[in-house]
């Protein structure tokens, strides 16, 4: 996904709002997951979002999303966010987030999803790392659940 940062996306200092970036991350992640599952999805978790650099009005915000792991009814997607200066083409990473989505039917019940085909060493490594993040998320969820 690519879009230009406009004044209505920004704070009074002329930088994109963090909430706007989070919204775009959620959309980019959902699109990647929809393309894998071809099902309805809900966002279940967002891990470790940090804003490394600001993005100015007039710059482009570029979001690249890829599914990193798929389990029985949920999947993880990595979304990388870049800024690109419109006139110079200078690009830098501004954020990275991992989101978990759950596939559901129209009644909100979980539905099974297809497995992720891992064809490279890098994809298998990302899937192993996703398994570790999932285990940590499930452990944290147990602590929060009364």
pLDDT tens digits, one per residue of 55-110? 999 999 999 999 999 999 999 999 999 999 999 999 999 999 999 999 999 999 99
User: For residues 101-125, b (16+ Cβ closer than 10 Å) or e, as one string?
Assistant: bbbeeeeeeeeebeebebeeeebee
Pick 2-144's CATH classification: 3.20.20.70, 3.50.50.60, 3.40.50.300, 3.10.129.10.
3.10.129.10
Distances (CA, A) of 33 to 15, 57, 67, 69, 75: 29, 29, 6, 10, 7
CB-CB contact of 133 with 98 (8 Å): yes
The pLDDT of residue 128 is 96
Q: Where are the domains of the chain?
A: 2-144
Distance CA 85, CA 61 (A): 9
pTM of this prediction?
0.93
């Amino acid at each position: 996904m690519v879009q230009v940062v406009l004044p209505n996306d920004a704070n009074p200092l002329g930088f994109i709002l963090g909430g706007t970036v989070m919204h775009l991350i959620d959309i980019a992640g959902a699109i990647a997951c929809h393309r894998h599952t071809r099902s309805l999805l809900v966002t279940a978790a967002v891990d470790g979002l940090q804003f490394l650099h600001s993005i100015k009005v007039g710059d482009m915000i570029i979001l690249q999303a890829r599914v990193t792991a798929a389990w029985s009814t949920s999947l993880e997607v990595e979304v990388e966010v870049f800024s690109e200066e419109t006139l110079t083409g200078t690009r830098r990473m501004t954020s990275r987030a991992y989101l978990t989505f759950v596939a559901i039917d129209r009644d909100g019940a979980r539905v099974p999803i297809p497995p992720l085909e891992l064809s490279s060493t890098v994809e298998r490594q990302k899937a192993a790392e996703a398994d570790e993040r999932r285990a940590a998320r499930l452990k944290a969820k147990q602590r929060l659940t009364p």
